[in-house]
Structure 1
Amino acid sequence: MNLLSVENIAKSYGERTLFSNISFGINQDQKIALIAKNGTGKTSLLNIITGNDTPDEGQIVSRNGIHIAFLPQEPNLNPNLTVEETIFASEAPVLKVIHNYENALKNPEDTDAYQKAFEQMDIFNAWDFETQYKQILFKLKLDNLDLKVDKLSGGQKKRLALATILINKPDLLILDEPTNHLDLEMIEWLESYFAQEKITLFMVTHDRFFLERVCNEIIELDNGQLYQYKGNYSYYLEKKDARMAAEAAAVEKAKNLYTKELDWMRRQPKARTTKSKSRIDDFYVIKEKAHQRRQEHTVQLEINMERLGSKIIEFHNVSKAFQQKVILDKFNYSFQRGERVGIIGKNGTGKSSFLNLLTKNLEPDAGKIIIGDTIKIGYYTQSGIGVKPEQKVIDVIKEFGEFIPLTKGKIISAAQLLERFMFDRKKQYDYVEKLSGGELKRLYLCTVLIQNPNFLILDEPTNDLDIVTLNVLEDFLLDFPGCLLVVSHDRYFMDKIVDHLFVFRGEGQVDDFPGNYSDYRSYEDSIVPESSQSEDKKEKKNWKKDANSALSYNEQKEYSRIERDLKKLAEQKEEMEAKFADGTITPDKVNEASEKLQKVLDEIEEKELRWMELMEKMED
């Protein structure tokens, strides 16, 4: 059953066209995700569908009587109400049913009204409404029902708005980045809730695990055109690759035909027959196809990095508490070169405080933190970039210099660097306050990276970034030779980037887990809860050896690092051998190039030997 139809809509802002002639439908029980680059019209499309904006052309047609709910990124709640009052102030049909039933109880003589109200209570499953909404609030960590909205943090307000919508059970739920401000436990609960409930969803999200596990259809807005994929995120990736390959082949075919037809056009006499005029018309169609270009403009990251010395960052018996709340308790750790650590834990367990201790924005109560002389920290915080009134995008970068150093001794201008971060020349002279949330995050990321850090700290870097930018950022971080410390609720991102995890459990307990997030979830799911077996607590803490491996914890980290290093060395070897094969190396550079190649070959041999040693140990 169709709930809502988008019919031939268009939207422009001045000379900029976001999309035109867009059409699609949303049917009952579909779970649809909208994917697009930042700034290409995702939020505008959501606002049009929900009636918060109007299209320049076309219309939105919804089924009579359906209840549509919208969760924006910044919800608008009454600041004077409590958490519980907010639930009852909503326009949920179930609340009207409960109200009618309470009125019927006051007038028992009206048996027809009572019978109808009783039946409606059954239909809406309203008998245990209080239990239902309290369960949802509990899952979203909103336990204090008497707390006023104006006392809530931004994340708590987002969760309260989400809870209100879930409790209302609308016919169609429209969501703009629903997983922002949720910790991993909440995200996984919401995933499970959406996967099990018979609910119709239309959402914008960058959370690729969420897309994979919840959605059964993906709509992509790409260069103003709409493409629909009847499947989850994996299916979308597969079919998009096939579409891109087919488009490239079609353009190549058109180019070949265009060359042939262009020659024919040049040889034609001025007087032309009807038949030749038809061919001329076809020529211009072919010409347009042959000159078709995709506006990819992906981020290109080639920022320089300061040299790393032998001493990185060391924690020696570090303790920190805020009154009775213990964050760290005699924490010891020494970071190694090239280490890639993910930080996970429930909200309030001390993740941000840990980063502030590391960056000297917070002093420990006891112990000491030693930072090596060569360490240059780049800190990407959740607070983002500070927007100055009437400051233009290019002025933000020029504060770091007119020219920026890249790898291999190259330099580029501030304008060229911004182009690599997908800010075209026109956008560079826009005021910063006009940028979208995703564009602000991209600009902020640029300012962090151009300072050439060798110890990079990223606190929720994926919020508001589109999937295209996320993929490029991931590729950059995989090649980043320095140390990396990441706090993120994006499980897909964490799986791809980190080698091991600091798990913040609260009360000063920080466990070091040798694996990525999926490894951690598998481990957690495989053990019996502490309440049912006392020995499990000991097992949970004893992560120095994996259940299926004879390797020590440090050996497991070394094994992961060697595999990554071997991949990079193999790529270097292929690149250098290709230069020898195609003759691009000048005679005076042959000896130098040969020495470099031999050095790479020796390093590969050394790492392969160590890799084999560790493999044999695992098999024992």
Structure 2
Amino acid sequence: MHYVSVEGLTKSFGTKPLFKDISFHIEEGDKIALVALNGTGKSTLLRILCGKDAPDSGKVWIHKDVTVVMLEQQSGFDMAKSVIENIFSHDNPVLNAIKEYELLTEESHGEPDLDKLTTSIAKMDELNAWHFDAKVKQILGKLNIHNLDQPVGSLSGGQQKRVALAKVLIEIGFEHKHVLLIMDEPTNHLDVSMIEWLENYLDQERVTLLLVTHDRYFLDSVCNEIMELDQEQLFIYKGDYENYLEKKAAREESEKASVDKARNLYRKELEWMRKQPKARTTKSKARQDNFYEVKEKASQRVADQQLELNVKMTRLGGKILELKKVYKSYGDLKILKGMDYTFKRGERVGIVGKNGVGKSTFLNMLLGTEQPDSGKINVGETIVFGNYSQSGLVVKEDMRVIEFVKNIAENFPLADGTKVSAAQFLELFLFPAEKQYTYISKLSGGEKRRLHLLSILFRNPNFLVLDEPTNDLDLPTLSILESFLQDFQGCVIIVSHDRYFMDKLVDHLLVFEGDGEIRDFPGNYTQYREWQKEEDKKKVTTPKKEPVPEPTVTATLPPPDNKGRKMSFKEKRELELLEKEIEQLETEKKTIEAALSSGELSFDKMEPMTHRIGEIIQLLDDKGMRWLELSEMSA
């Protein structure tokens, strides 16, 4: 089915064109990544497609049966309302029934009103809403969203982002069959397990997808087509990220040859133009018109996005950074428990762990902005920190980009004794000359992040602390940052959920496992995840050894945490429903298996059945594990 047609779309921001006369189509089942520099119109194009912005010219046609759902970077929540009120703001009988049931059974409310609960359950039964309620629970659980009655305004920015993602996923799960899901940086503020779950979820849902993301592993896993906005034009590449890089390199090489040819022709034409008398023939007039076309082509700038700087780094002394028996806690939350560690010259360390285990606190202690409860952190006298924090760019008053950088320094020193000017350094970080005189307040969010990063590197530190540096950065800027860091001779600490970025740069990981435990893992992020999955398998497959009681001991062992705990009404109801759902899924599985083995189905009928049986197997696994967990409680 044909979802979207875009023909001759043009949009400018003030006098600056974002894109000019672009055209593309979206078919059912397409999963497209939109790639471009920050500030070149990605978010604007997405907003035009969902009707929240208008083009200067051109047409957007969307099939009447297609519903467009968008995850924006700004949530637009009513901050005074609760999480559940914002998630279920879509007025629909099924969603309203689930919202009422979830509020009644929210554990923080204590025992529910039985009359209201009975009415709510009857309504859920009448609307056949239990299956969808299970999907809602899965989404909220995987995104670590709890305490649904708290105001959204009390949540952190990252928590609000996860609530916005949950709202969108619930909406597309409920909407009718044809949905175009548009997502702007969906992986920001998600940890790796959440990102991996989202990859699988989007694949299983078989949605038609258009997304902007900086996460290249996520892009590679989810998308089968890449559209790139570059110099006001749109380029389309079928296939994965590797294919995109190859085809883009070939295109840029071809463009470079074309521009070089145009420049040679331009020199000849310019010489001819200067020799011509004022009165021109028709023939010479045609040649004059052609001259201006050649001039425009010759003036094109082929952006070289490779950064090659032999940096003259501030000298590192023998002593770098040392932690001795460092303890740190916040109430019951233990962050460090007697940590000993000595950083070596040129070390590249990745910091990983779930949200809320203290990674940012650890960085703040290294930087001296927070103090340990006990122990010592000794910093070498020659250390110059460069701290790229999540707080973002701080500017006392609005100023132009070039002024902001020149206030730090006029020049950037290189190892060979030469210097790069502030303007040249800005060029290398994809701020062309015309952009350098833009006021900072006029930059996009991603451009401000890029300027913040540039300003830290321009101070010439020898110990970089990068806290989630990839959030909101575009892929060209990430490529430049990676190139810079690969040549950087100082120490680097990176906290990031971007697996591609970490794999490319770090030597080993400090894994924050919770309760103050830090594991030093000798490898990159992907190797750690593979090791972690193997360890999880061992825990599942290795039978637990039952303790053999001593003959003299007469007291019985305490029951496990789950066993013996009184089940809530909500859990009892969930157990009853799970038994029915598992039975229904087993019946459906047998029916589909019989149909597939009959040999009488056409390919068109076999394909959805094959996909459905995969979904059923996954559902049976998930529901079976939950049934076992609840059964233990009821025993």
**What's 2:598 paired with?**
none
User: Between Structure 1 and Structure 2, how many residues are aligned?
Assistant: 516
Distance 1:33 1:260, change over 3 A: same
1:335 to 2:343 alignment: yes
Residue type at the aligned position of 1:326: K
1:474 to 2:482 alignment: yes
Q: Secondary structure at the match of 1:210?
A: helix
1:533 to 2:542 alignment: yes
Matches within 5 A, 1:276-425: 289=297, 292-296=300-304, 301=309, 303-425=311-433
| Greater mean alpha carbon deviation, residues 340-349 or residues 278-287 | 278-287
1:370 and 1:417 map into 2 onto residues whose CA distance is 33
1:448 and 1:195 map into 2 onto residues whose CA distance is 39
Residue type at the aligned position of 2:71: L
CA apart distance, 1:323: 0.8
1:241 to 2:244 alignment: no
Q: Secondary structure at the match of 1:355?
A: helix
Superposed CA offset, 1:292-313 (max 9, x none): 4424476665543111112111
Residue type at the aligned position of 1:24: F
CA apart distance, 1:424: 3.7
CA apart distance, 1:138: 0.8
1:404 and 1:259 map into 2 onto residues whose CA distance is 35
- In the alignment, structure 1 segments of 5+ residues that lack a partner are 100-116, 537-620
**What's 2:236 paired with?**
228
**What's 1:464 paired with?**
472
8 Å Cα contact 1:28/1:200 also seen in 2: yes
Q: Secondary structure at the match of 1:473?
A: helix
8 Å Cα contact 1:159/1:182 also seen in 2: yes
Residue type at the aligned position of 1:230: K
Matches within 5 A, 1:31-430: 31-91=31-91, 95=95, 126-169=129-172, 170=175, 171-252=179-260, 289=297, 292-296=300-304, 301=309, 303-430=311-438
CA apart distance, 1:427: 3.1
Residue type at the aligned position of 1:11: K
CA apart distance, 1:386: 0.9
Distance 1:118 1:523, change over 3 A: closer
8 Å Cα contact 1:70/1:174 also seen in 2: yes
Distance 1:86 1:417, change over 3 A: same
1:500 to 2:503 alignment: no
Residue type at the aligned position of 2:169: L
Residue type at the aligned position of 1:315: L
Residue type at the aligned position of 1:376: V
1:227 and 1:218 map into 2 onto residues whose CA distance is 8
**What's 2:4 paired with?**
4
- In the alignment, structure 2 segments of 5+ residues that lack a partner are 100-122, 546-635
8 Å Cα contact 1:223/1:295 also seen in 2: no
2:521 and 2:342 map into 1 onto residues whose CA distance is 15
CA apart distance, 1:57: 0.6
Q: Secondary structure at the match of 1:408?
A: coil
Distance 1:371 1:278, change over 3 A: closer
Residue type at the aligned position of 2:472: D
**What's 1:544 paired with?**
none
Residue type at the aligned position of 1:398: K
CA apart distance, 1:184: 1.3
8 Å Cα contact 2:28/2:208 also seen in 1: yes
Residue type at the aligned position of 1:131: A
2:6 and 2:329 map into 1 onto residues whose CA distance is 54
Residue type at the aligned position of 2:230: D
Superposed CA offset, 1:119-177 (max 9, x none): 9967xxx4322221111011101022222211111111111111011011150111111
Q: Secondary structure at the match of 2:399?
A: coil
Superposed CA offset, 1:293-350 (max 9, x none): 4244766655431111121111111111101100011111111111110011100011
Residue type at the aligned position of 1:2: H
Superposed CA offset, 1:332-382 (max 9, x none): 111111111001110001110110111111111121111112212111111
Superposed CA offset, 1:45-87 (max 9, x none): 1121121111111122211142211111110112232222223
8 Å Cα contact 2:259/2:297 also seen in 1: yes
Matches within 5 A, 1:23-38: 23-38=23-38
**What's 1:22 paired with?**
22
CA apart distance, 1:432: 1.9
Matches within 5 A, 1:461-610: 461-527=469-535, 528-533=537-542
8 Å Cα contact 2:320/2:343 also seen in 1: yes
Distance 1:199 1:269, change over 3 A: same
8 Å Cα contact 1:298/1:468 also seen in 2: no
TM-score by length of 2: 0.75
Q: Secondary structure at the match of 2:26?
A: strand
1:213 and 1:374 map into 2 onto residues whose CA distance is 43
Superposed CA offset, 1:499-541 (max 9, x none): 10111111111101111111112222233243543799xxxxx
2:126 and 2:268 map into 1 onto residues whose CA distance is 72
8 Å Cα contact 2:334/2:514 also seen in 1: yes
Q: Secondary structure at the match of 1:128?
A: helix
1:346 and 1:364 map into 2 onto residues whose CA distance is 21
CA apart distance, 1:36: 0.5
Percent of pairs with identical residues? 53
1:283 and 1:249 map into 2 onto residues whose CA distance is 19
8 Å Cα contact 1:92/1:168 also seen in 2: no
CA apart distance, 1:249: 3.7
Residue type at the aligned position of 1:58: G
Distance 1:534 1:385, change over 3 A: farther
Superposed CA offset, 1:545-602 (max 9, x none): xxxxxxxxxxxxxxxxxxxxxxxxxxxxxxxxxxxxxxxxxxxxxxxxxxxxxxxxxx
1:66 and 1:369 map into 2 onto residues whose CA distance is 58
Distance 1:270 1:151, change over 3 A: closer
**What's 2:604 paired with?**
none
Distance 1:118 1:342, change over 3 A: closer
**What's 1:559 paired with?**
none
| Greater mean alpha carbon deviation, residues 295-304 or residues 411-420 | 295-304
Distance 1:252 1:366, change over 3 A: same
Residue type at the aligned position of 1:166: L
Q: Secondary structure at the match of 1:464?
A: coil
Question: Aligned-residue CA RMSD in angstroms?
Answer: 3.1
8 Å Cα contact 1:405/1:412 also seen in 2: yes
8 Å Cα contact 2:161/2:189 also seen in 1: yes
2:369 and 2:281 map into 1 onto residues whose CA distance is 80
1:449 to 2:452 alignment: no
8 Å Cα contact 2:33/2:212 also seen in 1: yes
Residue type at the aligned position of 1:334: T
8 Å Cα contact 1:349/1:505 also seen in 2: yes
CA apart distance, 1:231: 1.2
2:279 and 2:448 map into 1 onto residues whose CA distance is 58
Distance 1:535 1:395, change over 3 A: farther
TM-score by length of 1: 0.76
2:346 and 2:93 map into 1 onto residues whose CA distance is 55
Superposed CA offset, 1:414-466 (max 9, x none): 44443443334443333222221121112111221222211111111111111
Residue type at the aligned position of 1:147: Q
Distance 1:428 1:129, change over 3 A: same
